């Protein structure tokens, strides 16, 4: 069976799914969809810690699904802008996992990851799949992936 590593860019997914679909990603449906492609041997969800009880409950749901939840503190700068970017952490973890798996699945629409997927495929021979909101996923990322899965339909959590 194919060994798969799953990486979820929680902040990117939250904002893109909400903006286009007006709801949330169903992480259980995402997990089930990825699991149909192979055995998920590693799964990481990258989020920002704000100390909010609802957010902590959501993080526990992710853990219960099988994700290793990685948190960074929410930082509010003096100018009012916020910092909470996981790009470097995700990149390091993807490159590390590429040594052990047959496929890397990235749930994000962030075009900064296009070069990462090119590297994973070219240097490690690992297949790459991207899950993202079609309207807001960078075309460079779609092109870099072996397979693009739009987040829509059954992958959405409708209230």
Tens digit of each residue's pLDDT (9 = 90 or more) over 91-138: 999 999 999 999 999 999 999 999 999 999 999 999 999 999 999 999
Q: Note whether residue 57 is domain-resident.
A: yes
Q: Note whether residue 100 is domain-resident.
A: yes
* 89: its two tokens: 């952490």
CA distance 3 to 13: 24
Q: What is the mean pLDDT of residues 48-62?
A: 91
* 2: its two tokens: 């194919």
Q: Note whether residue 63 is domain-resident.
A: yes
Q: Note whether residue 78 is domain-resident.
A: yes
Q: Provide the pLDDT confidence category of residue 72 given band limits of 50, 70 and 90.
A: confident
Coil, helix or strand for 99? Answer: coil
Instruction: Give how far the C-alpha of residue 56 lies from the chain's centroid of Cα atoms, to the nearest Å.
Output: 18
Per the structure, the complete domain to which residue 93 belongs is given by 3-104+114-157
Q: Which backbone phi and psi does 125 adopt, to 5 degrees?
A: 65, 30
The model's pTM is 0.94
Residues 70, 47: contact at Cβ < 8 Å? Answer: yes
Q: Note whether residue 109 is domain-resident.
A: no
Is residue 51 pLDDT above 90, yes or no? no
Helix (H) or strand (E) holding 115: helix 114-124
Q: Note whether residue 70 is domain-resident.
A: yes
Per-residue confidence (pLDDT) for residue 74, from 0 to 100: 73
Closest CA to 16 of 149, 133, 98, 107: 133
Per-residue confidence (pLDDT) for residue 144, from 0 to 100: 98
Q: Note whether residue 135 is domain-resident.
A: yes
CATH number at residue 143: 3.40.50.1010
Q: What is the mean pLDDT of residues 17-25?
A: 97
Give whole-number Cα distances, 25 to 48, 70, 108, 124, 137, in Å: 17, 18, 11, 30, 15
State the Rg of the chain over Cα.
Answer: 15
Count of the separate structural domains present in the chain:
1
């Amino acid at each position: 069976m194919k060994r798969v590593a799953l990486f979820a860019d929680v902040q990117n997914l939250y904002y893109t799914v909400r903006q286009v679909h007006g709801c949330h990603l169903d992480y259980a449906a995402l997990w089930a969809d990825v699991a149909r492609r192979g055995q998920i041997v590693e799964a990481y969800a990258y989020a920002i810690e704000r100390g909010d009880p609802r957010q902590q409950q959501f993080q526990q749901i992710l853990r219960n699904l099988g994700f290793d939840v990685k948190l960074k503190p929410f930082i509010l700068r003096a100018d009012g802008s916020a910092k909470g970017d996981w790009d470097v952490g995700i990149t390091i973890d993807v490159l590390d996992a590429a040594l052990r798996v047959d496929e890397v699945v990235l749930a994000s629409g962030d075009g900064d990851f296009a070069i990462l997927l090119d590297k994973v495929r070219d240097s490690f021979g690992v297949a790459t799949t991207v899950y993202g909101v079609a309207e807001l996923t960078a075309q460079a990322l779609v092109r870099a992936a072996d397979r693009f899965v739009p987040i829509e339909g059954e992958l959405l959590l409708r209230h």
